[in-house]
Amino acid sequence: MKKEIIDMDGVKFPVYSLNTLIIGSGASGLNAAIHLWERGQKDIAIATDCWGGGTSNNAGSDKQTYYKLSLSSESPDSPLQMAQDLFAGGCMHGDIALCEAQNSLEAFFHLVRLGVPFPHNQYGAYVGYKTDHDPLGRGTSAGPLTSHRMFEALAREVKSRGIAVFDGCEVMALLAENKDDETHVIGALALDRNNCDAENLGFIVYNAKNVVLGTGGPAGIYKASVYPESQLGSTGLALAIGTIAHNLTESQYGLASVKFRWNLSGSYQQVIPRYVSTEKDGSDLREFLNDYFPDMGRLATAIFLKGYQWPFDPRKIGDFGSSLIDILVYQESVLRGRRVFLDFTRNPSGGGILSDFSFDLLGEEASQYLQNSDALYDTPIERLQAMNQPAIDLYRDHGIDIGKESLEIAVCAQHNNGGLKGNIWWESNIRHLFPVGEVNGTHGVYRPGGSALNSGQVGSMRAAMFISRRYSSEPPSLNRFLSAARAQIREKFVFARTLIDAKVTDGSDIPTQREKIQERMSACGAHVRGLAKVKEAIAEGWQLYRELQNTVKIATPQELPEAFKNLDLCLTHVLYLEAIGEYLEKGGRSRGSFLVLDPEGKKPCDQLGENWRFGLNRVDSFVNTKILEISLDANMTVRKNWVNIRPIPQAEVWFETVWKNYINDKIIK
Ligand SMILES: Cc1cc2nc3c(=O)[nH]c(=O)nc-3n(C[C@H](O)[C@H](O)[C@H](O)COP(=O)(O)OP(=O)(O)OC[C@H]3O[C@@H](n4cnc5c(N)ncnc54)[C@H](O)[C@@H]3O)c2cc1C
């Protein structure tokens, strides 16, 4: 990596020239860096807004899962079978499914070699268990903090190899150039958070042959979110230069605690806690679920099942299914303005037509499970102590004693199945730009639990393979780079300067603007959707985007990173809403992890109002047989395109043929 200083209109800027810039230090960005290094490409650097920030290092769950080909001696598996299971989730391209299946073991053992403690038995079998949408027990786990353990191991490796890291470096634009009717990424612009009050406002310029974008999911567009606070996402960086995104309609939502953000899945629900709600001031405590369930047996069983069936799923609402609980929590908290809590100190109590909780009212699966777990104790907290003491310790480590204090909860955004589009080497339609990890939306409507972490590792490894083989040359000379990038750098710098206005004395509007984005998304673009509201939200979203570009002011340069982040989040949320609007216009109904309100549909249960009617998509409906792509053209006009779903390819498997192609360098292309 070479550093040079340029002078533009009397202001000096550092320019770093290198082969590959990796943006983000989550599990996927770090993995890309290590694989590049291992394959001989050492002219690389990682730019991250916060080393240790992001989802991988800071999120987890009851038993955080990594999905890979089964290695248990008792269950036969094959990459094709795994690809078929990934593909069966709907709206996922078959070639991507095959890559994720085929490469899952290589990616997994890379992590094992780096020291991630995935358990194996005395004969070396990395045994697994069944996760959601998984027929074969392909899930494995290094405990509640699997992705954190991955971050630790990968970060250790990055440091030990001496890979350059720009910490506190917020990338706020990608630089691009048109060549032969295609757009190429040529570098990036960042703000050094610790140097914004310098004359150059902390601008750092990167002249890079390739950019690997590992910026994670767009967490910052949601108010109700179980992503860690440090994760906001930067999908807008890529959207702004015309990168195609797809499946933006598909995200996962579910119940999580809000004071300390954590998924309430697995044993937190299997011990059957009591759900209560209160007024904002804590008065009028009620067990609100009792009004909707016909008997305690079905209520307690639905709570238990929430453990296995964590993401909200409109197919699991009917007949007092577990996802009815998400709707009731949403109604109580968002629509009625009350607060909802999980109370582990007491069992659900009856009242009205409901009897008090007792084990003999439970369904067969639930009662057998608690019996097998030796957890037939009197209260939920005692059952949790018996089944999973670390689940209690985890909250204690964050200052919450769930043996005494109830947990405030909400239905929260957790993961984005869709995102930027890549090919089988994870390169986007913008040449040399490789979105990896959650920002690359490889998944379809449903995905097996754990496949996000696998996808992040496989994708970053394949991007590194491609770059090191095909795009390994040096970056262009400074002069050549500046001839394409100078105007873009100048435009951003002038914009940054005009944002700062010393007359702003009563605090900037940055928090209010962000709240508007987040509230709009959680109200209209999350797990409950309707066309009229989405259309309004799109118009309001674009209006805010224009304001952020034209009229917003900040008091000091230190606020620049947040001002640019708001622009990014605003653009991101509008394109998500545009995709949702398009899906609804095409007659799309409920699927995946969202409910589409529909007056012609069925009520979730008799006691809920008419406005809750909804219907499910038919399997052969238009929206289920195509994938919606969305992007911005050079005039910022939104382009929407429904494309066919690519089937799983018939890959060449004849050894002599593959060998010949391999030695003739015809594989990576
Ligand atoms: C509660 C929870 C539980 C989960 N459980 C599972 C599970 O069991 N199994 C599973 O497979 N998946 C799970 N996931 C999803 C999975 O953890 C994530 O998809 C994955 O960790 C994302 O990794 P990543 O590397 O893509 O992004 P992240 O780990 O989010 O990293 C993004 C990085 O980019 C940086 N960054 C962002 N923007 C910029 C910018 N402009 N400039 C510089 N740096 C930037 C961030 O600081 C961060 O370092 C879970 C997610 C959550 C929230």
Radius of gyration of the chain (CA): 25
Least confident of 57-61, 253-257, 461-465, 501-505: 501-505
Residue 433 is predicted with a pLDDT of 98
Numbered ranges of CATH 3.50.50.60 in the chain: 50-168+242-250+417-479+622-669
Which two three-digit tokens encode residue 32? 């890309």
Which two three-digit tokens encode residue 102? 């085929």
Q: How far is the CA of 416 from the centre of ligand 1 (A)?
A: 10
Q: Identify the DSSP state of 373.
A: T
Q: Bigger pLDDT: 661 or 353?
A: 661
Residue at 371: amino acid letter: Q
* DSSP H or E segment with residue 614: strand 614-614
Residues 509-561: tens digit of each pLDDT = 899 999 999 999 999 999 999 999 999 999 999 999 999 999 889 999 999 99
Asked if residues 237 and 47 have their Cβ atoms less than 8 Å apart, the reply is no
Q: Bigger pLDDT: 243 or 619?
A: 243
How sure is the predictor about 137, in pLDDT bands with cuts at 50, 70 and 90? confident
Q: Which of 415, 434, 447 to mutate to test the pocket of ligand 1 (most atoms within 8 A of CB)?
A: 415
Alpha carbon distance 10, 83 (integer Å): 56
The residue behind tokens 């069966």 is 88
Q: How far is the CA of 154 from the centre of ligand 1 (A)?
A: 14
Q: How far is CA 653 from the centre of its chain?
A: 34
Q: How far is the CA of 532 from the centre of ligand 1 (A)?
A: 32
- pLDDT of 315 > 90? The answer is yes
Residue 76 is predicted with a pLDDT of 87
Residue 568 alpha carbon, nearest atom of ligand 1: 41
Residue 308 is predicted with a pLDDT of 85
Task: Provide the strand spans (E) within 487-594.
Answer: 528-529
Residue at 27: amino acid letter: A
Residues 68-112: tens digit of each pLDDT = 999 887 778 999 999 999 999 999 999 999 999 999 999 999 999
* DSSP H or E segment with residue 524: helix 510-524
Which two three-digit tokens encode residue 104? 């899952």
User: Which residues, judged by CB distance below 6 Å to any ligand atom, belong to the binding site of ligand 1?
Assistant: 23-29, 47-50, 53-56, 59, 61, 64-65, 147, 170-171, 214-217, 226-227, 231, 234, 263, 414-415, 437-438, 449-453, 456
For residue 120, count other CB atoms closer than 10 A to its CB: 13
The secondary structure of the chain in percent helix, strand, coil, rounded to multiples of 5, reads 40, 20, 40
Q: How far does the chain reach from its first CA to its final CA, in angstroms? A: 26
Question: For the chain, how many helices (H) and strands (E)?
Answer: 19, 22
Q: How far is the CA of 215 from the centre of ligand 1 (A)?
A: 7
Alpha carbon distance 467, 42 (integer Å): 12
pLDDT-above-90 percentage for the chain: 90
Residue 94 is predicted with a pLDDT of 98
Asked if residues 385 and 402 have their Cβ atoms less than 8 Å apart, the reply is no
Tell me the mean pLDDT in the region 139-157. 96
How sure is the predictor about 409, in pLDDT bands with cuts at 50, 70 and 90? very high
pLDDT-above-70 percentage for the chain: 100
Specify the CATH superfamily of domain 50-168+242-250+417-479+622-669.
FAD/NAD(P)-binding domain (3.50.50.60)
Residue 461 is predicted with a pLDDT of 98
- pLDDT of 652 > 90? The answer is no
Which two three-digit tokens encode residue 292? 């909707």
Residue 456 alpha carbon, nearest atom of ligand 1: 26
Q: How far is the CA of 501 from the centre of ligand 1 (A)?
A: 34
Q: Which of 58, 147, 193 to mutate to test the pocket of ligand 1 (most atoms within 8 A of CB)?
A: 147
Residue 574 is predicted with a pLDDT of 98
Which two three-digit tokens encode residue 408? 């405030």
Residue with CA nearest ligand 1 atom 53:
227
Residue 141 alpha carbon, nearest atom of ligand 1: 8
